[in-house]
Amino acid sequence: MATHAAHDAGHAAHDHGHDDHHELGFWKQYVFSTDHKVIGIQYAVTGLLFLLLGFGLMLAMRWQLAHPGAPIPYFGKILASLPVIGQHFPNGAMSADGYNEFGAMHGTIMVFFGIVPVAFAALGNFAVPLQIGAPDMTFPRINMASYWTFFISCVIMLGSFFVPGGAAKSGWTSYPPLAGIADLGPGNHPFFNGQTLWLTGMVFNITASLLGSVNFIATIIQLRAPGMTWMKMPFFVWTQFITAILLLLAFPPLEAAGIFQFMDRVFGSSFFMPTGLVVNQQLTQWSGGGSPLLWQHLFWFLAHPEVYVLILPGIGVIAEVVANNTRKPIYGYKVMVGAIFALAFLSFIVWAHHMYMTGMGAKVAAFFQTTTIMISVPSVILITALMLSLWGGSIRFTVPMLFATAFMPMFGIGGLTGIPLAFNAVDLYLHDTYYIIGHFHYIVAPGTIFAIFAGVYYWYPKATGRQMNEFLGRVHFWASLITINGIFFPMFLQGMAGVHRRWYDGGGASLDQLTYKLAGPVLHWNQFMSTSAFLLGLAQIPFIINFFWSIRNGQKVGRNPWDATTLEWDAPSPPPHGNFDKHIEVFHGPYEYSVPGAAKDFTPQSEPVETSAATRPVSPAPAH
């Protein structure tokens, strides 16, 4: 940001695109690039690979749940032959440690290394500067630092699978005192062990998201093109703005907690270690006096806003896709913007609803269940507005639109099943059952991940200049929609019968105990769910083929293949470094579709409305 600073760039109208005709080398152009689009694609590829890895971990676990103790076909041999990981897979069957390891890393990878990087960092990096008419992010070099810090965290997390003892096994929530003592026994390195590396990786991951979120907020505030006032911003930009604020403010307390736990493990302090902690019938070496509950407070102070970090970019993508494919403005734009502000604020005061079981007291629980119920109001506003946007539209069922339409009921199921959980009394029964797993997976899997797919299909032509294959896209969509419900819907049935999320044998052994007898009639669903999961994996193959095949062989497209109105479609496909090859000015709101009296059914933000404001009818004019 410093090199050519003498040249005053303070004018609102600036021209660019003609002072960087020199070619950058391969490394600067594709690897250590400061271009927001390249960084976005780097985040997308890394994040999608992690989604696949996280999914693979889950497939191994689902095999174990359906066929406890049986060797995993084909992949079991590969797992057993890997260094360190193989120890947890004797003869290719999953051990309890292996289940814990894969479970903890599935959660961590999906949330922090898959969905947030793709939904926020990748789609946001790619689309936000384009949508507001900016040449790049405000701090391009910090943007690059963000990706490479993230990359280091990825290396640490992946590396932790191969240190003695294997990766973290204490759940993605890393609750102490378990997480404080795990991986510290004989045979483990004092620093290079799963849980300590998990903490180190998380600190890097948090730093990366901090750098990214500062950049997003500063870009949206500072680099909006002339005429792009706040209420003319596409809804996707709004969701990214709010998401960035959540990340900026919610992640640091987890960083603090991560540092505390790191101190506990490496320097033997007692932030989270209670007095008189006994492990294996021996008093531990910690001085005690700490509080395990403190971790839970700090963790969930992040991890609840994190839920909205996961879903808000998804809702933003869906709003873009819905407006574009219904050929009409989204319903209640202003209310939706208000709703995400309310959502962001409330998301900071609901965290302890994850902690009803800790015995923190009925009064505290009453407060948090009230705020939790309150937060359902803006969520329902958002989903209702999206649904109403469909009303009266002439819907084009393109692939992104298929994913967007499926998103709504899926997110609806996920959201509505969350309402009972908000109540302390109900949650005490459902806590840690498959009902919870079903609930939040409906939000993030057929919710956010479908939105991610919608976004990828929607912006792919902008990123590559080519369209993805429609037929493969439809196969991908229908197969994914059916199988993903096959995985998650039975979880509600199992959960209500009391199947616990941590039974690594699928519940079979626990049935001997009287308490668990209720779960018996629903355990047969395990086979069905695991088969669905496997089929869901197969359903991703058309997408993977499509993704790579279309880079070279997709149908070539121009600037605006979707006939969309927002600014990114004014740039060439793919956009050059610096984005726009013409002066960008914004004249009206983001979703001016089917404007009565206009020549075509979409009016880009950069084009003045052809009919003058005075003669433009307010409501659809009768034909005459």
Partner 1 sequence: MQIPHEVTARPDTGLYNSKLGIWLFLASEVMLFGGLFSGYIFLRMGAEPGYWPHGLLNVPVGTMNTAVLIVSSVTVVMAWAALKMRQFLQYKMYMLITIICGIIFLGVKLSYEYPQKFDHFGAFIRKDSLSKYEAYLGNEFLKSKNLDPRVEISGHLLDAPKGSPYEAVAKKNAEHFKHMLHEEGIGGGHGDGHGAQVQVQTEATDDYVIQLDPANARPTDPANEAPSFLPKKQTMMTAVVKAADVENASMFVPRHSPYFAIYFTITGLHGLHVLGGVLVFIYFWGPGSKLYQRNPEHLANRVEVAGLFWHFVDLVWIFVFPLFYLL
SS (H, E, C) 317-344: HHHHHHHHHHCCCCCCHHHHHHHHHHHH
Contact between 67 and partner 1 by CB under 8 A: the answer reads no
Interaction between residue 89 and partner 1 (CB under 8 A): no
Closest CA to 485 of 446, 452, 448: 446
**Beta carbons within 8 Å of 189's beta carbon, 6+ residues apart:** 163, 164
Our CB check for partner 1 shows the closer of 219 and 550 to be: 219
What's the closest the beta carbon of residue 459 comes to partner 1, in angstroms?
A: 21
Which position among 45, 52, 158, 223 is part of the footprint of partner 1 (CB under 8 A)?
223
Where do runs of H (alpha helix) occur along 2-83? 26, 36-66, 75-81
Binding of residue 227 to partner 1 (CB under 8 A):
no
Binding mask 280-299 for partner 1 (x = CB under 8 A): -----xxxxxxx-xx--xx-
Query: Three-state secondary structure along 350-418?
Result: CHHHHCHHHCCCHHHHHHHHHHHHHHHHHHHHHHHHHHHHHCCCCCCCCHHHHHHHHHHHHHHHHHHCH
In the shown chain, the binding pattern of residues 91 to 130 toward partner 1, with x for contact by CB under 8 A and - for none, equals ----------------------------------------
Distance CA 229, CA 234 (A): 10
Q: Three-class SS of residue 593? A: strand
Nearest-5° Cα angle at 150, 446 to 353: 50
Task: State the nearest-atom distance from the C-beta of 3 to partner 1, in Å.
Answer: 10
In whole angstroms, the minimum distance from the beta carbon of 272 to partner 1 comes to 10
547 binds partner 1 (CB under 8 A): no
Q: Tell me the C-alpha distance between 274 and 369, whole Å.
A: 28
User: Under rule CB under 8 A, how many of the chain's residues touch partner 1?
Assistant: 65
Tell me the C-alpha distance between 317 and 386, whole Å. Answer: 11
Rg, Å, the chain Cα set: 25
Q: Does 19 bind partner 1 (CB under 8 A)?
A: yes
CB 506 within 8 A of CB 66: yes
Please identify, using beta-carbon distances, which residue of 139 and 151 lies nearer to partner 1. 139
Q: Which region, judged by CB under 8 A, interacts with partner 1, from 7-15, 144-152, 321-329, 425-433?
A: 7-15
177 binds partner 1 (CB under 8 A): no
Which of these, 147, 129, 149, 148, lies nearest to 138 by C-alpha position? Answer: 129
Taking CB under 8 A as the criterion, the residue among 26, 27, 267, 391 binding partner 1 is: 267
CB nearer partner 1, residue 131 or residue 160: 131
Structure tokens at 609: 């409305």
Among 98, 253, 400, 473, binds partner 1 (CB under 8 A): 253
CA distance 437 to 126: 31
Nearest distance from residue 134's CB to partner 1, in Å?
Answer: 8
CA dist 591 and 208 (Å) reads: 33
Decide whether 114 or 253 has the Cβ nearer to partner 1: 253
Among 17, 69, 537, 572, binds partner 1 (CB under 8 A): 17
For partner 1, the binding residue among 56, 171, 268, 508 (CB under 8 A) is: 268
Q: Does 352 bind partner 1 (CB under 8 A)?
A: no
CB 165 within 8 A of CB 188: yes
- Rounded to whole angstroms, the Cα distance separating 370 from 376 reads 10
Among 62, 106, 439, 577, binds partner 1 (CB under 8 A): 577
Does 500 bind partner 1 (CB under 8 A)? Our answer is no
- Length of the chain measured in residues: 624
Smaller CB separation from partner 1, 294 or 373: 294
**Shortest spacing between CB 252 and partner 1, in angstroms:** 4
Contact call for residue 473 and partner 1 (CB under 8 A): no
The answer to whether 597 and 616 have CB atoms below 8 angstroms apart is yes
Compare residues 169 and 354 and give the one whose CB is closer to partner 1.
Answer: 354
Q: Smallest distance, Å, CB 20 to partner 1?
A: 5
Name the residue nearer to partner 1 (CB basis): 85 or 210. Answer: 210
For partner 1, which residue of 32, 139, 151, 341 counts as binding (CB under 8 A)? 139
For position 526 contacting partner 1 by CB under 8 A, the verdict is no
Tracing tokens 């979707």 back to the chain, one arrives at 562
Pick between residue 2 and residue 623 the one whose CB is nearest to partner 1: 2
For 59, residues 6+ apart whose C-beta sits below 8 A from its C-beta are 75, 533, 534, 537
Nearest to 318 by CA among 457, 114, 211, 497: 457
**252 vs 520, which CB is nearer to partner 1?**
252
Query: Contact positions toward partner 1, by CB under 8 A?
Result: 1-2, 4-12, 14, 16-17, 19-20, 135-136, 138-140, 142, 210, 213-215, 217-218, 221-223, 248-257, 259-260, 263-264, 267-271, 275, 285-291, 293-294, 297-298, 301, 577-578
